[in-house]
Amino acid sequence: MKHMYWKNVKRSLFLYIMFSLLTAGFMFHYFPSYPQAENEGMANKMLMAGEKVVIIEDNEQAGFVRLDLLKKAEERLAITYHTFHAGVWTDAFMGAVFEAADRGVEVEILFDGMLHNMRGDLRVIPYMLSTHPNITLKYYEPFNPLRPYTWHNRMHDKLLIVDDHYVMTGGRNIGDKYFKSDVDDTVYDRDIILIKEETARDDQRSAITEMSQYFDELFNHDYSYEPIFVPSLYRERAATEKKVMLHEAHDTFEKVVHLNVGEWEEEAIQVKGIQIWHNPIERMNHSPAIWQNLMSLIKDAEESVLIQSPYVIPTDVMTSPFQQKITDAVQLDVLTNSKKVTPNLLAYSGYERYRENLAENGVDLYEYAGQGSIHGKTFIIDSYYSVIGSFNVDPRSAFLNTETVIVLEGEEFASALEGHITNLQADTHLVTKDNIQEIDENEGVSFFKRAVLRLLASFVPFIESLL
């Protein structure tokens, strides 16, 4: 009897594993479905709403400006970030969120249901958020063992919306490595802030309003759930202790915010047009709306295309328009992480499969090899169109994640962006079709990292569509 019991347990476990592999892996790779994007062709429609835009490049300034924005909130905060990391900056950020809610601001905050990373020292924060009368917390696609096909459809947006006046977006998550430059795992990223002009006409379409509407759609979608926490003495005690820590972090940072943010709004650049692109909120492989629109812009380029992405994995289904562009006279430069600094070995292994082909087809690859790593996502076409947001050049951003980008029209803004990217290129090695055979990509790379990448090389092609 006991033997039969364990036999049935093993059989059930085997069937579950096979079911999970099929619906959470093989189905994405061998049975892709890429319907046409509903908003294909949006690249030719620009919003003219009077917003100015600020570029936030410096890590520490990015943290202090966030705290300043949270302090400016009067009526509503809408917040979503892909992941959080325990540390002083996360405590300061969450402390500012609670301070805003305490003074009457209505806060809506959306976590990715699997990768929010609210664990360890941060474990009690979701409970604290859900029990505050002025805060509504939801999880996007929380883990469901009976629905493995939902495991890869992650929320990757990074949005901070303050009233109807500011929108901050870009590639940064929340954690010390994103807001410090003196730690070993420093991540250099990029944010932009849309500022609504008081002189904007009432009949003008506002990009800030468009972004708020997208957040509302995501927040109120059937895939987003309010968590249920059972009150307990342990949770109450942990919440009380954490509240003190958050209050102390908030007070400490608040004393120096005004010394560090400066007059950041005065750095705003007036752009000629703004547009919001986002991926559809769908399960499995969804319509590649952002990627198709990007390809539309790139196909129309006349002189240059500059791309910065921490991960570059132009798979076969993405490569056709990419290859078409790099065979003509347009200069195509790509800035990404080198093998030496990349923190994501799976993604780099995917990039390595296409690295030589990209260079041989005329792409100039700038591989960052400085301190830390780069995480910004930016596209600049003909030094005129700028695209910034959470979107990486990989199949996960194209077909699986929720993603948001802002498209900005204007030479002045594009020039400022190019300047920031040029600064990063100073710490790169340039790989071209003329020197790729001479470049030693393993220089400075640890034996362990090289060994892991060799092991991944034969495995990655089977999960490439999930990278």
Q: Which fold has domain 52-266?
A: Endonuclease; Chain A (3.30.870)
Query: For the chain, which residues make up each domain, given as ranges?
Result: 52-266, 273-466
Report pLDDT for 24. 66
Percent of the chain with pLDDT strictly greater than 70: 86
Report pLDDT for 92. 95
- What is the three-state SS of the chain? CHHHHHHHHHHHHHHHHHHHHHHHHHHHHHCCCCCCCCCCCHHHCCECCCCEEEEECCHHHHHHHHHHHHHHCCCEEEEEECCECCCHHHHHHHHHHHHHHHCCCEEEEEEECCCCCCCHHHCCHHHHHHCCCCEEEEEECCCCCCCHHHCCCCECCCEEEECCCEEEEECCCECHHHHCCCCCCCEECCEEEEECCCCCCCCCCCHHHHHHHHHHHHHCCCCEECCCCCCCHHHHHHHHHHHHHHHHHHHHHHHHHHHHHCCHHHHCEECCEEEEEECCCCCCCCCCHHHHHHHHHHHCCCCEEEEECCCECCCHHHHHHHHHHHCCCCEEEEEEECCCCCCCHHHHHHHHHHHHHHHHCCCEEEEECCCCEECCCEEEECCCEEEEECCCECHHHHHHCECEEEEEECHHHHHHHHHHHHHHHCCEEEECCCCCCCCCCCCCCCHHHHHHHHHHHCCHHHHHHHC
Report pLDDT for 89. 95
Q: Do domains 52-266 and 273-466 have the same CATH topology?
A: yes
Average pLDDT over residues 238-247: 92
Report pLDDT for 126. 96
Instruction: Report the range of poorest mean pLDDT among 138-152, 248-262, 277-291, 416-430.
Output: 248-262
Q: Encode pLDDT of 38-95 as tens digits.
A: 444 444 456 666 689 999 999 999 999 999 999 999 999 999 999 999 999 999 999 9
For domain 273-466, the CATH superfamily is Endonuclease Chain A (3.30.870.10)
Instruction: Report the range of poorest mean pLDDT among 13-17, 276-280, 290-294, 301-305.
Output: 13-17
User: Which pTM was predicted?
Assistant: 0.93
Q: Encode pLDDT of 412-442 as tens digits.
A: 999 999 999 999 999 999 999 888 887 888 8
Res. 194 pLDDT band, cuts 50 70 90: very high
